[in-house]
């Protein structure tokens, strides 16, 4: 008897339908899984056999063939254990056939028949709704995550035996009701009021947050670069429901959601170490997984000690910075990971970190080589370069708190609302940082005085065309923060000040 059970698998962050077919034939006892299974899927033979026996059923001593269709896509993971076990029990006539087209089953089996959680359940629940599948059977730890998808019945089953009992009498079971739990992070947001002094850096992060701009801090060790960067999420607007779903889906696929959690409601902040690999930063691997760039989607990717990252790794960021996604091509499949993040980076001004201080012994050549570790094309994609000097003693000794993040966030949200209204009819553009040439001509044309100022800066600093556009984007955000409909010369002058690495003294190393 041939049995069919619906399941699902992942390609990148998207789920696709998998039909698990189980057939019992004559001949010597054997168990084979076909359909491009990886080692974990092939090992399901032992897990399923033990789980079936320990759940009080008979494991048939026959030639068992399990097919995972479509056969042309490689399958990975242990999430097929439950549908394989159900298929074998139906095929051996130990349980009655059920309406397989209306039920999707996923879950890893332990040897005693209990179910363990799997990755990517949110994407699978969204697939079930899209295919109009009425119910999904899954491990209890994944129920809260799947329940945020409306229109399908979520049925947590702790074990194989309970899954079978549900299929025998589905009318007796009630779908899982979400509790409203969320994955909000392990610690509260850090607040900008903790930052002493550094008014220019505080102003820079406000502009960056308001317009979605990338920024780079340049300053000696201990000046507060990392401290300020870690507080950027506290001034960003809250995630919308659509953004929360996007972020949650990525974290679910990466296996970073804790048991019983549902929506991620806080903007991600990712700070990978400079020794990270290219796959660790942008995603990939033998079985491609989201990298740090995707885990920072709709949030902040912070790269401390920027020149210490491998140059080839940094160059991989050029695509997500421009397109908001990472494309990974393999021989059999091409994947797209969402990666629309705000980049915040920090670096020292020289190898020792104390350029301009008597203790600095770096030569101009050493400084130039250090700065050249970060390529010009990558720097061109960073809108704001801001110098962060050492904090003055009077600022450190002050007991008065700085302006709190709450007040800054209010200004940021007002500026974002202006941008939402401005770009409402333009698909794919939500902030000033995402404006292309057409939008720049329409929304970021300075007045005559501003054009003269920008022309002089271009000629004196030798700025690239991309840097020119970055200045216009930043000046548009500065104008939005003060409620100005037009870009004036003072807005451009401030934006030009945030191109520190384009100045001759940086390019010449002294």
In order of their start, the domains of the chain are 2-172 (3.30.230.10), 192-507 (3.40.50.300)
| Average of per-residue pLDDT values in the chain | 88
d(CA 393, CA 407): 26
Task: Please list, in sequence order, all residues whose beta carbon lies within 8 angstroms of the beta carbon of residue 422, skipping any fewer than 6 positions away.
Answer: 443
pLDDT, residue 502, reads 64
Report the C-alpha gap between 337 and 214 in whole angstroms. Answer: 20
Per-residue pLDDT band for 363 (boundaries 50, 70, 90) equals confident
Q: What is the pTM of this model?
A: 0.88
Whether the predicted pLDDT of 186 surpasses 50: no
Percent of the chain with pLDDT over 90: 55
pLDDT for the residue 503: 56
Amino acid 131: pLDDT: 93
**Which of 242-246, 331-335, 367-371 has the highest mean predicted lDDT (pLDDT)?**
242-246
Per-residue pLDDT at 393: 67
SS3 assignment, position 464: coil
Tokens of 31: 């168990």
**Short-list 329, 306, 460, CA closest to 378:** 306
Q: Is the pLDDT of residue 108 over 60?
A: yes
Helices (runs of H) and strands (runs of E) counted in the chain: 22, 18
């Amino acid at each position: 008897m041939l049995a069919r059970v619906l399941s699902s698998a992942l390609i990148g962050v998207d789920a696709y339908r998998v039909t698990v077919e189980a057939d019992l034939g004559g001949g010597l006892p054997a168990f084979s899984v076909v359909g491009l299974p990886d080692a974990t899927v092939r090992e399901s033979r032992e897990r399923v056999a033990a789980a079936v026996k320990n759940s009080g059923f008979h494991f048939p001593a026959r030639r068992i063939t399990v097919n995972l269709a479509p056969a042309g896509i490689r399958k990975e993971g242990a999430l097929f254990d439950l549908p394989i076990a159900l298929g074998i029990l139906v095929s051996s006539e130990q349980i009655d056939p059920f309406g397989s087209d209306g039920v999707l089953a996923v879950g890893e089996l332990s040897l005693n028949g209990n179910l363990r959680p799997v990755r990517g359940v949110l994407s699978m629940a969204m697939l079930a709704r899209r295919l109009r599948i009425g119910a999904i059977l899954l491990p209890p730890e994944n129920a809260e995550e799947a329940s945020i998808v409306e229109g399908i019945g979520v049925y947590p089953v702790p074990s194989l035996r309970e899954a079978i009992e549900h299929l025998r009498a589905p009318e007796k079971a009630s779908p899982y009701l979400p509790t409203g739990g969320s994955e909000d992070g392990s610690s509260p947001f850090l607040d900008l009021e903790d930052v002493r002094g550094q008014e220019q850096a505080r102003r820079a992060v406000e502009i960056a947050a308001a317009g979605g701009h990338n920024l780079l801090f340049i300053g000696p060790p201990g000046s507060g670069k990392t401290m300020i960067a870690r507080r950027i999420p506290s001034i960003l607007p809250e995630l919308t429901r659509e953004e929360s779903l996007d972020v949650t889906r990525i974290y679910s696929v990466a296996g970073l959601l804790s048991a019983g959690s549902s929506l991620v409601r806080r903007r991600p902040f990712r700070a990978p170490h400079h020794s990270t690999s290219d796959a660790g930063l942008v995603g990939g691997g033998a079985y491609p997984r989201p990298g740090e760039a995707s885990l920072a989607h709709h949030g902040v990717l912070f790269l401390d000690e920027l020149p210490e990252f491998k140059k080839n790794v940094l160059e991989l960021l050029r695509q997500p910075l421009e397109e908001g996604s990472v494309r990974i091509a393999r021989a059999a499949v091409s994947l797209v990971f969402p990666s629309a993040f705000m980049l915040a980076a920090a670096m020292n001004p020289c190898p020792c970190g104390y350029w301009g201080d008597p203790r600095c012994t770096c030569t101009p050549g050493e400084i130039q080589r250090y700065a050249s570790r970060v390529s010009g094309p990558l720097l061109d994609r960073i809108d704001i370069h801001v110098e962060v000097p050492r904090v003055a003693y009077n600022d450190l000794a002050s007991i008065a708190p700085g302006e709190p993040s709450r007040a800054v966030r209010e200004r940021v949200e007002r500026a974002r609302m202006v941008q939402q209204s401005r770009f409402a009819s333009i698909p794919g553009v939500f902030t000033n940082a995402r404006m292309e040439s057409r939008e720049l001509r329409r929304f970021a044309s300075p007045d005559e005085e501003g054009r003269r100022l920008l022309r002089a800066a271009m000629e004196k600093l030798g700025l690239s065309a991309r840097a020119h556009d970055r200045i216009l984007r930043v000046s548009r955000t500065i104008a939005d923060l003060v409620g100005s409909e037009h870009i004036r010369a003072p807005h451009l002058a401030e934006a030009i000040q945030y191109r520190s690495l384009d100045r001759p003294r940086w390019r010449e190393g002294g």
